[in-house]
């Protein structure tokens, strides 16, 4: 096993979930400038994260939108625009088909007369 490849600055750190406010005290090497008081009365570095196992849908079993950058909304808008364009092309194709059928019927009527 290689020596001196693992960090040696592990310490207790509090991770706070910004979605629901839950907090976890664990060991980490992550740097933080904020501190917080834990249940035992001691001060520990505080790291705020957007999602943890307390709020992730995979672990909670509930489906929620946790998108902070609006990616889901952008995707839904693109999908709706794509569907609208597809419907417009289908309507145009139907219109062309009806015109061709009407033209053929008119031509047949003229030849019959």
Band the pLDDT of 109: cuts 50, 70, 90.
Answer: confident
On average, the pLDDT of the chain sits at 87
- Tokens read off for 57: 């849908």
- 61-86 in b/e form (b: 16+ CB < 10 A) is eeeeeeeeeeeeeeeeeeeeeeeeee
Encoded tokens for 42: 């001691």
CB 11 within 8 Å of CB 45? yes
pLDDT one-digit tens code per residue, 36-83: 999 999 999 999 998 888 887 776 777 655 566 677 788 889 999 999
| Short-list 26, 24, 48, 46, CA closest to 36 | 46
- Residue 8: band (very low, low, confident or very high) from pLDDT cuts 50, 70, 90: confident
Give 30's pLDDT tier (boundaries 50, 70, 90). very high
Residue 59 pLDDT? 67
Dist. CA 7–CA 51, nearest whole Å: 25
Give the residue-averaged pLDDT of 79-104: 92
* DSSP strands (E only) in the chain: 11-17, 23-28, 34-37, 43-49
């Amino acid at each position: 096993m290689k020596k001196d490849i693992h960090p040696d600055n592990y310490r207790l750190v509090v991770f706070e979930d910004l979605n629901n406010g839950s907090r976890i005290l664990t060991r980490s090497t992550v740097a933080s400038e904020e501190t917080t008081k834990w249940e035992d009365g001691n001060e520990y570095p505080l790291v705020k994260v957007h999602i943890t196992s307390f709020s992730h849908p995979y672990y909670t079993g509930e489906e929620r939108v946790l998108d902070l950058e609006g990616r889901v909304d952008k995707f839904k808008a693109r999908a709706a625009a794509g569907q609208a364009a597809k419907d417009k092309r289908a309507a145009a194709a139907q219109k062309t088909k009806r015109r061709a059928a009407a033209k053929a019927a008119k031509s047949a009527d003229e030849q019959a007369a």
